[in-house]
Structure 1
Amino acid sequence: MNNSTVRALSKVPEVTLIFWVIKIAATTLGETGGDSVTMSMNLGYLVGTAIFAVIFLAAVAAQINAKGFHPLLYWVTIIATTTVGTTLADFADRSLGIGYAGGSSLLFILLIASLFIWHRSLGTVSVDTVSSPKAEMFYWVTVMFSQTLGTALGDWTATTAGLGYGGGAVVFSALLALVAVAYYRTKISRTALFWAAFILTRPLGAVVGDFLDKPLNAGGLALSRYSASAALFAFMLTCILFFKQRAAEKAH
């Protein structure tokens, strides 16, 4: 591969079916992993957020300093965003007392603001163009806000809206299916559809993660958070190792 080809490649993966499979597993892992630290270890939401924030910043720094696309590093960074998103959303919703609706509204505003500033600064929010440090910073801030928003939305749907974990999973799966139909049957912006799907996978992962580890009397399966997290990580690692992922080609 010559230098001009290397420069034309993004530092995020090509969006394929396996990308979405791993993304949903990562968001589910973020829920079980975050709860493992804050609840099972009884460290609380503030301490859990501080721990995962450090991991998130370190992972993003490593990702930005990397010379190219590295699948394992990329997905470790995604896991870091989804775990800090879980604990941060829980801290805002429960410890600060603003509730799921308030937390979702605030995070939605922050997410839209991040996308708006990114677009105004670089002219695009397409993931195919994430190949410069500035674009990467916008990308990871936007991802972190989307993961945090997804946690709040998942909790709001399952508890406040009264749909339960199964009902929430059905709702977000149906919405993702609609995005997929729009991708193949309409001319809606592919970038807009990508971010819609990216955001929706997080609440899906949140309700699935809660379904796995919440008590039986709360509608969950009462599985060990540690075991569920280990199984999800093993599944992700298997997918990463056995299904080769390429860097997205930068749009010209």
Structure 2
Amino acid sequence: MKIAATTLGETAGDLFAQTLKLGYFLTTIALFLVFVVTLVVQLRSSHYNPFFYWTVILSTSMAGTTMSDFMNRDASTKFLSNGATKLGWGPQGLGLGYPEGAAILISLLLLIFLGWKLSGMTFQITEIVTFRGEALFWAAILVSNTLGTSMGDFLSDSSGLGYLGGASLVTGVLLVLVALMKVPAVPNVLLFWIAFVLTRPLGATAGDFLTKPVAKGGLDLGTLGSSVVLLAVLFGLMAYAQLKERRTAATPEFAGPEAETVQPQRAGHR
């Protein structure tokens, strides 16, 4: 589900910003507001709901896509060269570049973790039981997805690996992380956050592979068609997760969402 959500986040973000020519700035504002709305719904929920949880994950992926593009690129020249007459309101990019953008995002993520640590709250995701803890969790998720988008775009566009090469590299690193889970000396919390960041560039490279022209190494399926298919896949997976959650809740042994969902448990402890 995470890969489906992050890939859809890439294709949908590009759909709004590039295909529909709304521009990075206006799309970023709109998608950030979508994130806020979905987050409020999630925080107000009295129990774990897969639709709410994964909708927030999707909204962070979409917002992260355009936030990263706005930071790293300056699309004005590109849009004008394609004959666009309307770029959307506001500037079309800061043009920081991938290294500078990544440095800012890594610093911001470290600050969030520092605040998390100083608050005295646990980093164990399944043990988050406070509103503030869940707010920090989702802030880290948003920044992680934005950072992951920058990493994915760098691998696809600037590293020379291409879409499949970048995806293969990230997949290999994720497999190493899975192997490290068997090593007691390596904290699972650290592995979780590294893996979470890396699933985003995997989704970004996969999304670009689906939508970019064949001449650039993609399948040229378009952002609209790819987004519709991915949305159907994600919706089906969420429906299955919802059904599974209801069946689990009906059993006497039920004590909250299964650990594999890796979602904060605050709502279940109200």
TM-score category, normalised to shorter length: 0.7 to 0.9
Partner of 2:21: 42
Question: 123, 127, 130: which is aligned to 1:129?
Answer: 127
**Where do 5+ consecutive residues of structure 1 fail to align?**
1-21
Deviation at 1:97, TM superposition (A): 0.9
Question: 241, 247, 251: which is aligned to 2:257?
Answer: 247
Q: Cα deviation per residue 1:2-29 (whole Å; 9 max; x = unaligned)?
A: xxxxxxxxxxxxxxxxxxxx01110000
Partner of 1:214: 212
Question: 154, 163, 171: which is aligned to 1:173?
Answer: 171
Q: Cα deviation per residue 1:97-127 (whole Å; 9 max; x = unaligned)?
A: 1101111111111112111211221332221
**Counterpart amino acid of residue 138 in structure 1:** L
**Counterpart amino acid of residue 15 in structure 2:** S
Q: Cα deviation per residue 1:162-183 (whole Å; 9 max; x = unaligned)?
A: 1111110011000100110001
The CA distance in 2 between the partners of 1:133 and 1:123, in whole Å, is 11
Residues 1-252 of structure 1 aligned to structure 2 (within 5 Å): 22-94=1-73, 95-243=93-241, 244-245=244-245, 247-248=257-258
Partner of 2:88: none
Question: After TM superposition, where is structure 1 displaced by more than 3 Å over at least 4 residues in a row?
Answer: none
Identity of aligned residues (%): 36
Decide whether the 8 Å contact of 2:8 with 2:227 is kept in 1: yes
Deviation at 1:185, TM superposition (A): 4.0
The CA distance in 1 between the partners of 2:152 and 2:66, in whole Å, is 13
Residue 125 of structure 1 aligns to a residue in which SS?
A: coil
Decide whether the 8 Å contact of 1:129 with 1:135 is kept in 2: no
Q: Cα deviation per residue 1:150-173 (whole Å; 9 max; x = unaligned)?
A: 000011111121111111001100
Q: Cα deviation per residue 1:165-204 (whole Å; 9 max; x = unaligned)?
A: 1110011000100110001344411111111111110011
The CA distance in 2 between the partners of 1:239 and 1:185, in whole Å, is 31
Decide whether the 8 Å contact of 2:122 with 2:128 is kept in 1: no
Decide whether the 8 Å contact of 1:122 with 1:135 is kept in 2: no
The CA distance in 1 between the partners of 2:222 and 2:166, in whole Å, is 21
* TM-score in terms of structure 1 length: 0.87
Residue 29 of structure 1 aligns to a residue in which SS?
A: helix
The CA distance in 1 between the partners of 2:193 and 2:11, in whole Å, is 23
* TM-score in terms of structure 2 length: 0.82
The CA distance in 1 between the partners of 2:128 and 2:213, in whole Å, is 41
The CA distance in 1 between the partners of 2:127 and 2:159, in whole Å, is 38
Q: Cα deviation per residue 1:43-85 (whole Å; 9 max; x = unaligned)?
A: 0000110110110011111111111111100000110001000
Say which structure, 1 or 2, has more relative contact order (CA 8 Å, 6+ apart): 1
Deviation at 1:237, TM superposition (A): 1.6
Rg larger for: 2
The CA distance in 2 between the partners of 1:186 and 1:30, in whole Å, is 34
Q: Cα deviation per residue 1:116-144 (whole Å; 9 max; x = unaligned)?
A: 21122133222112332101110110000
The CA distance in 2 between the partners of 1:44 and 1:218, in whole Å, is 22
Residue 184 of structure 1 aligns to a residue in which SS?
A: coil
Partner of 2:248: none
**Counterpart amino acid of residue 25 in structure 1:** A
**Counterpart amino acid of residue 114 in structure 1:** I
Using a 3 Å threshold, how does the CA distance of structure 1 residues 170 and 186 change in structure 2: closer, same or farther? farther
The CA distance in 1 between the partners of 2:166 and 2:201, in whole Å, is 8
Residue 182 of structure 2 aligns to a residue in which SS?
A: helix
**Where do 5+ consecutive residues of structure 2 fail to align?**
74-92, 246-255, 260-264, 266-270
